[in-house]
Structure 1
Amino acid sequence: MANDNDPPMTFQALMSLLPLPSPENESGKQRFMSVVPSYCAGGHGVAYGGHVYAQAVWAAAQTVGPGMVVHNVHGFFTLPGFTDRPYVYEVEHLSEGKSYCTRNVVVRHPCTPSFDMEEGKREEKMFEVEDEEKELGAICFSCICSFKRDERESFRGHQGVGVRERWREVLGEGNGSWEMAPGVDAPWWNRLASSSSPPRFPVFPGLDIRKVEIQTNTTSDPTSYRALSLYRPFGSLPTSLPNLHACADLYASDRNSLFIISNALGFGDQVGTMGSLSHSVVFHVPTDELLFQGNGGDQWWIQEAWTPRSGQGRGMHESWIWSPEGVHVASTWQEGLVRKADRKEDEKQRLLWEEGMWKTGRLGVKEKGKL
């Protein structure tokens, strides 16, 4: 990923795909490979899940006809993703229609790393087509996604009160003044970042995401806990590629999502294990309302998130995605593995990040164990 002084990677570059030969004797399937390593917050080698989620849909989008834009995605995370090897996407054509079509995507990694992610600069770390020839491991992610054409509506769509109206006092006018979203939205990470000698955190690629602090949040009623994030892509996105615009929302939708559950339940510092199990997104709007306009400026999109239920070592994360114009663009539902650690030595989530930051030189030896 990007070093401290590197410019942020654009979203279009981050989603780059390399077409691969189709599987032998398997018609109706197409294959692609990621070119750019995915983001890892602490250098521990486990990839940000939003990358494979968004890029799987982008791979599927390469196989549909003109005018077909994603409207529905159901994904399942079955194994951790890694940053030192590419994702190989196999897209299967499930149905073809005049108005709708569906695709099934399965994703695997090569069993062996492509390179040592601890060495060199980002520009030197691009995956090569030769990686595709290596033995592939088990499926790490799969999804079914549906695409549709715009249609003339026979009734007017409806939505509730807009996010900016409901959160006027919190959002105010300071869209660009919010702090960058933390790599890990946990109290221990925030304390480390605000310390007198904070470690060097990797730059989150693709999107500029800001966290909005909500002072009224308490853990007395987890269902009332809310999280607001503002985001926009680095670099402009071609209006001729609406599916790429939609993928930016998919990429943002997974950012720090499960931490809302542990924070709302009051054990953000005591997470044992955490990981996405499934993630679904439904887009509600026509193509023109999906597009990010311009490059930068004040065109901030908003994700409004909460957790309605938890239990059995799992929790639900839900969110609405709003455009700068106040349109409810998409709804998301995510189920995740979230377990509380009863002892400090069982806080695997924190210890994993700490070990990664220590190994990559972002955390001095004397600081180890101080998170």
Structure 2
Amino acid sequence: MNDRPGPAAGRPAADHPGALRDLLALLDLERIERDIFRGISRPAVVPRVFGGQVAAQALVAAGRTVPDDRPAHSLHAYFLVPGDPGAPIVYEVDRIRDGRSFTTRRVVAIQHGRPIFHLSASFQTHEEGLDHQQEMPKAPDPETLPTAEELLPRHADRFPDPTVVDRLLEARSAVDLRYAQDPPYLTAGERREPRSQVWFRTQGPLADDPLLHVCLATYVSDMTLLDSILLAHGRGGWAVGDVVGASLDHAMWFHRPFRADEWLLYDQESPSSSGGRGLGTAKIWTRDGRLAVSVIQEGLVRVPRSR
């Protein structure tokens, strides 16, 4: 089987804004053996590797060992231990199965000699079949919503740590992410329906490689999925210091083609939280109403003990 090139291959880096160029470079893993890849990290808002980055890089590694006529249709992943943002991450790919229609890969991410994350991903050749979907929920147009650069500095006094705003802006600088309703850190103390909507797209156009768009959606999918859990309890999250959280596992199903450089609606809700964990479920819709992706994640959600 002929393996595909990296998802960032063949595109002049100068064609992209700085932050997006850096993110694409992050996804362009170094191949150090046939099925072994190495990636670097970018600064995160917390002192560990951002989970969406590890998931996206692992999917890149898996996709690099699959022919380009087999797009990803699902992934299932576990976050094992926090990653060290100052050290490279090695991704080892196990070629589980190459069938006539489906290809399966397992990826282990390793730092300092131990696994920090593992992922299983499945790829399928295109075929026709039964087709139906739910109706897209209503949401305000993304152009009517404030950008992060407009929203966050306006409310800087809500954060006990004055560096939080800058860290959030830097971490999301490659993606235009706009909340349809106030995010949890602006409504701490107010219990709301456990549902959150955000629109997102990259800060610039991308090449046509479907793997690239899937990997970028994977990257963004870990940014806000636990928000709906916080809303149900009037918590603002790590940014205001009333919750300690981390991703535990993550699953995605890619239903229909989409572009991550065009507006996507991330509609998220939480059916349950208990035992120090919360469950988030979500759907990603294209602006013209096609259901593109389904997402489920369980996260650690702990209330800090009083001193």
Q: TM-score range by the shorter chain?
A: 0.7 to 0.9
- Cα separation, 1, equivalents of 2:228 and 2:97: 36
Instruction: Give the counterpart of 2:126 among 125, 128, 150.
Output: 150
2:147 corresponds to: 179
Q: Which amino acid aligns with 1:7?
A: G
2:276 corresponds to: 313
1:80 corresponds to: 82
- Cα separation, 2, equivalents of 1:330 and 1:174: 19
Q: Residues 57, 181 of structure 1: CA spacing in aligned structure 2 closer, same or farther, 3 A cutoff?
A: farther
2:108 corresponds to: 106
- Note the alpha carbon deviations across 1:25-83, whole angstroms, 9 max, x for none: xxxxx100114x23411xx5312110001110011000001311111100000000121
- SS of structure 2 residue aligned to 1:308: strand
For 1:134-173, list aligned pairs within 5 A.
Answer: 137-153=113-129, 155=130, 157-163=131-137, 166-167=138-139, 171=140, 173=141
* Cα offset, 1:208, TM superposition: 2.0
- SS of structure 2 residue aligned to 1:51: helix
| Percent of aligned pairs sharing the same letter | 28
Instruction: Give the counterpart of 1:245 among 210, 213, 220.
Output: 213
* Cα offset, 1:233, TM superposition: 1.5
Contact 1:182 1:190 in 2 (8 A): no
Q: Which amino acid aligns with 2:199?
A: L
Could you list the runs of 5+ residues in structure 2 that have no partner in the other structure? Answer: 1-16
1:200 corresponds to: 166
Instruction: Give the counterpart of 2:98 among 88, 96, 99.
Output: 96
- Note the alpha carbon deviations across 1:133-185, whole angstroms, 9 max, x for none: xxxx31100010000111122x3x2122213xx23xxx1x452642318999x
Structure 1 residue 265 corresponds to structure 2 residue 233:
yes
Q: Which amino acid aligns with 1:31?
A: I
* Cα offset, 1:330, TM superposition: 0.7
1:38 corresponds to: 42
Q: Residues 199, 255 of structure 1: CA spacing in aligned structure 2 closer, same or farther, 3 A cutoff?
A: closer
For 1:41-80, list aligned pairs within 5 A.
Answer: 41=45, 44-80=46-82
1:13 corresponds to: 25
Q: Residues 218, 235 of structure 1: CA spacing in aligned structure 2 closer, same or farther, 3 A cutoff?
A: closer
Contact 2:55 2:218 in 1 (8 A): yes
Q: TM-score, normalization: structure 2? A: 0.81
Contact 2:194 2:230 in 1 (8 A): no
Structure 1 residue 301 corresponds to structure 2 residue 270:
no
1:213 corresponds to: 181
2:254 corresponds to: 283
Q: Which amino acid aligns with 2:42?
A: S
- Cα separation, 2, equivalents of 1:322 and 1:98: 30
Q: How many residues align?
A: 280
Q: Residues 176, 183 of structure 1: CA spacing in aligned structure 2 closer, same or farther, 3 A cutoff?
A: closer
For 1:220-231, list aligned pairs within 5 A.
Answer: 224-231=193-200
- Cα separation, 1, equivalents of 2:160 and 2:191: 28
Q: Residues 219, 200 of structure 1: CA spacing in aligned structure 2 closer, same or farther, 3 A cutoff?
A: closer
Q: Residues 31, 194 of structure 1: CA spacing in aligned structure 2 closer, same or farther, 3 A cutoff?
A: closer
1:191 corresponds to: 158
- Once the two structures are overlaid, the 10-residue window that deviates more, 274-283 or 230-239, is 230-239
Q: Residues 259, 8 of structure 1: CA spacing in aligned structure 2 closer, same or farther, 3 A cutoff?
A: same
- Cα separation, 2, equivalents of 1:183 and 1:143: 35
- Cα separation, 1, equivalents of 2:66 and 2:280: 30
Could you list the runs of 5+ residues in structure 1 that have no partner in the other structure? Answer: 1-5, 23-29, 112-136, 346-371
Higher Rg of the two aligned structures? 1
What RMSD, in angstroms, separates the aligned Cα atoms of the two structures? 3.1
Q: Residues 57, 174 of structure 1: CA spacing in aligned structure 2 closer, same or farther, 3 A cutoff?
A: closer
- Cα separation, 1, equivalents of 2:126 and 2:156: 43
- SS of structure 1 residue aligned to 2:75: strand
- SS of structure 1 residue aligned to 2:271: coil
